[in-house]
Structure 1
Amino acid sequence: MHIKISIAQQMLTLLDDAGNVHAQYPISSAANGVGCEKNSGCTPLGAHTVRAKIGAQQPINSVFIGRRPTGEICTPALMAEFPNRDWILTRILWLSGTELGKNRLGNVDTMQRYIYIHGTPDSVTLGQPGSHGCIRMRNADIVALFDAVPVGTMVMIDD
């Protein structure tokens, strides 16, 4: 299995080893566009790998801060209480760049930038940029993707 993410189409495609489409999901990439530099708020391009899977067995809508579950479940009331949170929910696929100088090491390190594929509140609009750099997905979709891919899965992010 490998993952292709199209920024232009705002779509994540899961492909099997023969290149056949296994699943497709709408996503939301960065509101700031694409780019690999630290503190840019952009979604990094290029070849990546799933470095870590976080959140197995957590309930749908579990809230994560610093890659740790807070014990909270995201609800409209909780969102109203914390309107400025960047909601990272349900599961996290933490990405690591594989291209030295482009998305790995130095000022362009995807993993050090904490770039994930993660769940987002179902009220968030997908299909258009809006994240702070990560790839946002519906909670049911991130669970399906999380369960389908192992650590080490290749991820290509293209504009």
Structure 2
Amino acid sequence: MKINIYIARQQMDLRDEQGQITHQYLISSAKNGTGQENGSFCTPLGRHIIRAKIGANQPVNTVFIRRRPTGEVYSPKLAAQFPKRDWILTRILWLSGCEPGFNRFGSVDTMRRYIYIHGTPDSVEMGKPGSIGCIRMRNSDLVGLFDQVSAGTQVEIIA
């Protein structure tokens, strides 16, 4: 399996070993655009891998902070209590860059920037940039993707 993420189209393709598209998903990347630097709140480009899969068997809408479930389940009531929170829900696919000096090591290290593919509230619009660097997906799409990929799966983020 391989994942290609197309920033301009706000789309993700899941490809099989023969390169054929098996699934397509709408995503939401960074509202600040693309960029590699730590603190930029941009989505990094280039070749990555899934370094870790977090949240297997957690309920849909499980809330994560620092990659740990908080014990909360997202709801509109919870959102009203924490209106500034950047919601990371359901599952996390933690990305690691593969290109030294571009998206790996130093101030451009994707993993040290905590860039994930993660779930988001159903009210968040897909197909439009809006995150603070990560790739957001619908929870139902993410659960399906999570079950099809493994740590080490290649992910390419393309402008």
Same-fold call, TM cutoff 0.5: yes
Quick check: 1:29 aligned with 2:39? no
TM-score where L is the length of structure 2: 1.00
Q: CA deviation at 1:128?
A: 0.6
The one-letter amino acid paired with 1:21 is I
What is the alpha-carbon distance in structure 1 between the residues aligned to residue 101 and residue 128 of structure 2? 28
Report the counterpart of residue 74 of structure 2 in structure 1.
74
Secondary structure of 1:22's aligned partner: strand
**Aligned partners of 1:139 and 1:97: how far apart in 2?**
24
Q: Which residue of 2 aligns with 1:121?
A: 121
Q: Aligned-pair distance for 1:57?
A: 0.5
1:99 to partner: Cα distance: 0.2
Amino acid at match of 1:20: Q
1:77-133 residue CA offsets vs partner (Å, 9 max, x unmatched): 000100000000000000000000000001100000000000000000010100000
| Superposed CA offset, 1:126-151 (max 9, x none) | 10100000000000001000000010
Question: What SS does the corresponding residue of 2:33 show, helix, strand or coil?
Answer: coil
- The amino acid of 2:132's aligned partner reads H
Q: Secondary structure at the match of 1:39?
A: coil
Give the corresponding residue for 1:54: 54
Q: Given residue 42 of structure 1, which amino acid in structure 2 is its aligned partner? A: C
1:1-159 correspondence runs (5 A): 1-159=1-159
Give 1:65 deviation, angstroms: 0.2
| Structure 2 gap segments, 5+ residues each | none
Give the partner amino acid of 1:92. Answer: I
The unaligned stretches of length 5 or more in structure 1 are: none
Distance of 2:12 and 2:119 partners within structure 1: 13
- TM-score w.r.t. length of structure 1: 1.00
SS in 2 for 1:89: strand
Q: Distance in 1 between matches of 2:96 and 2:151?
A: 11
Matched residues in 1 for 2:150 and 2:7: separation?
23
Identity within the alignment, %: 65
Map Cα deviations across residues 55-90 of structure 1 (whole Å, 9 max, x no partner).
001000000000000010000000010000000000
